[in-house]
Amino acid sequence: MISIKLLKNTLIVCFLGLFLHSCNGKLPGGDARKFPDDPKLRVKKNLEEGRGFRLNTVLTPKGGVFDFASSNELWRASLDAIDFMPLVSANYSGGIIITDWYSNDVNSNESIKITIRFLTNEIRSDSVDIKIYNKRCSNNLLNCEIIRTDGVLVTELKRKILKNAAILKETKEKEKKENKKN
């Protein structure tokens, strides 16, 4: 019968053998000639390369940088552009605005629905994806047909959102400069 002590020793030797074999002869660390002598410069270089950490960054929560919805110019400009329409969902963290079906008083058999998806916070032409759906009903709203349109309305809405977002950003930057002067 194999003793427990012999079994433990065999497992330890096997584990150490696998551990040392995985090293491939390279020890952790690096070539001392490639690192500066000054400790402050070494710390700076290690942090730039992502090797080290600082205590204040360890204690802060990880994640992306998020602006409040009121400070994001694209979000505000989009809500301003469709403020006449009722909203079904406005999820800032998900980056999407969905309106409810809207129709004017002239033709109640036709209505539109708009979906705005934010792809980036930067103000540029590919930062928002706008989809507009038309619903045409006949026979007192019994037979309805829903069609996605990619026409002039999408282009005009995108142009209005980007223009208003640029104006909001410019105004915000002017206010920052004025606050710094005061």
**DSSP letters for 26-46:** PPSS--GGGS-SSHHHHHHHH
User: What domain range is 79 assigned to?
Assistant: 69-181
Report the candidate in 70, 120, 113, 76 with the shortest Cα–Cα distance to residue 95.
120
Instruction: Considering only the C-alpha atoms of the chain, give the largest distance between any 2 of them, rounded to a whole number of Å.
Output: 95
Residue 100 lies in a domain: yes
Contact 85, 103 (CB under 8 A): no
166 part of a folded domain: yes
Residue 109 lies in a domain: yes
Model pTM?
Answer: 0.59
The mean pLDDT value for 99-125 works out to 89
The C-alpha atoms of residue 163 and residue 82 are separated, in whole angstroms, by 14
pLDDT at 31: 65
Q: How far is CA 46 from CA 12, 31, 41, 58, 170, in A?
A: 35, 14, 9, 16, 38
Average pLDDT, the chain: 80
pLDDT in tens, 70-105: 678 999 999 999 999 999 999 988 889 999 999 887
Measured CA to CA, the distance from residue 15 to residue 27 in angstroms comes to 18
Number of structural domains found in the chain: 1
CA pair distance 134, 117, nearest whole angstrom: 18
Percent of the chain residues past pLDDT 70, beyond the cut: 74
Categorize the per-residue pLDDT at 134 as very low, low, confident or very high, splitting at 50, 70 and 90: very high
**Does residue 163 form part of some domain?**
yes
Task: Check: CB of residue 128 under 8 Å from CB of residue 74.
Answer: yes
Closest CA to 97 of 110, 111, 108, 113: 113
- Domain annotation covers residue 128: yes
- Is residue 28, in this structure, part of any structural domain at all? no
Q: Using one digit for the tens of pLDDT, what is the confidence trace for 42-74? A: 777 767 766 655 555 555 555 454 455 567 899
**Residue 20: inside a domain, yes or no?**
no
Q: Is the pLDDT score of 30 beyond 80?
A: no
At a CB cut-off of 8 Å and minimum separation 6, what does 2 contact? none
- Whether residue 9 lies inside any domain: the answer is no
26 pLDDT above the threshold of 80: no
